[in-house]
Amino acid sequence: MKKKHLYEIDLMRGLIMLGVLSVHSITVYISQLEDWTPSLLTLSMIHSSMHFTRMAFMFITGLVLFITYYRRDFNTLIFWKKRILLIAIPYFFWTIIYILFNAGFNGSFRSFLHVLGQSLISGSQGYLYYVLVTFQFYIIFPLLLYGLRKFEKWHRHIFAGSFIFQLLLMSFYKYMLPTLHTAEWPYLFRVWVANYGVFVLTYECWFITGGILACHYDLIRRFIERHFKLIVTTLVISVLVVWAHYFFDRLMLNDSDHRAKMVEQPLLVPYSFFVILFMLYLGIKWAGRRHKPNWQTFSRFVQLASNNSFGMFLIQPFPLFVLGLIVPVIPAPSWLFFISIPFAILFVYFSSMLIAYLFNKTPILSYCVGRKSKIFQRQLKSDHVLKNTQ
């Protein structure tokens, strides 16, 4: 069966990447503000409602893979060889680059190898945790694919169970884990709780939901289009609830700023769903208009942003580093400080896109942003043509 391309996902990738870089750019600004001041509380309140991006990334990863393979013949070894190799190269490359950039070792080769090993295990360099989670998802994907195929009649029950488990898991991370003494726990459980942010189980609901949506895409798409007004209304209410929740955690529970807006908390599970549905609706509407003359320029930009989104994610620490040098110079808080935030986000977004684009268009280097080198693709095509003519 021919692979189905969902153009609406291209717009979603661009929007999610804009959200990711906005979150990280605003983090730089928040670091310059004093805690408990009105400026920090207001900016952090807005910041807290932007923490859907990680879940949205995992959702799209699941959706694209299941759309690609659910109705097609599947070979586990071929899948692992193709997918894991394609992200292993950028994972190793950027881990090494960021170790050298941060100079996180004492200069000896032995120290470098030690830091490299620890970094590869933890995904701690840059924002490479996402790639490490993706590695794990690729490993278990054949099992998930088999399960969703085998129990297709039970998809509603699987989704409900996954959703409830995700709420319980986020509640555990938010409210119970900080109070537990884990030193006596079995080793594997200690590793899990110490590194839950890079553990695939932490995002199980988003991978499974993406898979179930892929299996019933046309049906769910019609549902989204019919109930768009309800989705928007619920999303607006959800944003207000997230803001209120941030202030409740800060003022009533006396939580730190970091803890009050942490990604792993139960409220963000349903909230992220509504944001994802909203972005998917926007993508569907754009996909239906992308060939119209007055949409051509925007459509080309969407395609550019989508093609370079993974590279932008890998490269973002460099423009964020530059931003970290500029922001402390701006008086804070001041009107100039807050007015500069949108321009800072655009700087990080487009500079990351430019560097990713250059990598993408350069033979060999394109593998470092998860893209096959075009020079080898042309060679393979030439060899195939030559073989067929013999």
Query: pLDDT digits over 119-168, tens only?
Result: 999 898 999 999 999 999 999 999 999 999 999 999 999 999 999 999 99
Q: According to the model, what pLDDT value does residue 384 have?
A: 44
pLDDT at 13 over 80: yes
pLDDT band at 6 (very low <50, low <70, confident <90, very high): confident
Q: According to the model, what pLDDT value does residue 190 have?
A: 77
Q: 101 CB contacts (<8 Å, ≥6 apart)?
A: 317, 318
pLDDT band at 311 (very low <50, low <70, confident <90, very high): very high
pLDDT at 375 over 80: no
| Burial of residue 143 (number of CB atoms within 10 Å: 0-12, 13-18, 19+) | exposed
pLDDT in tens, 171-193: 999 999 888 888 788 766 777 78
Task: Give Cα 360 distance to the centre of its chain.
Answer: 19
Per the model's pLDDT, the better-predicted residue between 139 and 382 turns out to be 139
- The C-alpha atoms of residue 121 and residue 131 are separated, in whole angstroms, by 11
pLDDT at 382 over 50: no
* pTM for the full predicted model: 0.91
- The C-alpha atoms of residue 85 and residue 92 are separated, in whole angstroms, by 11
Identify the weakest region by mean pLDDT among 89-103, 232-246, 376-390: 376-390
pLDDT band at 99 (very low <50, low <70, confident <90, very high): very high
Q: According to the model, what pLDDT value does residue 389 have?
A: 40
Q: According to the model, what pLDDT value does residue 374 have?
A: 63
pLDDT at 4 over 80: no
pLDDT at 306 over 60: yes
pLDDT band at 194 (very low <50, low <70, confident <90, very high): confident
Mean pLDDT of the chain: 91
Q: What are phi and psi of 299, to 5 degrees?
A: -65, -40
Identify the weakest region by mean pLDDT among 16-30, 240-254, 298-312, 366-380: 366-380
Identify the weakest region by mean pLDDT among 27-31, 34-38, 382-386: 382-386
- The C-alpha atoms of residue 59 and residue 203 are separated, in whole angstroms, by 9
Please say whether the beta carbons of 90 and 367 come within 8 A: yes
pLDDT at 93 over 90: yes
pLDDT band at 264 (very low <50, low <70, confident <90, very high): very high
Q: 266 CB contacts (<8 Å, ≥6 apart)?
A: 167, 170, 171, 174
Rg of the chain taking only CA atoms, in angstroms: 22
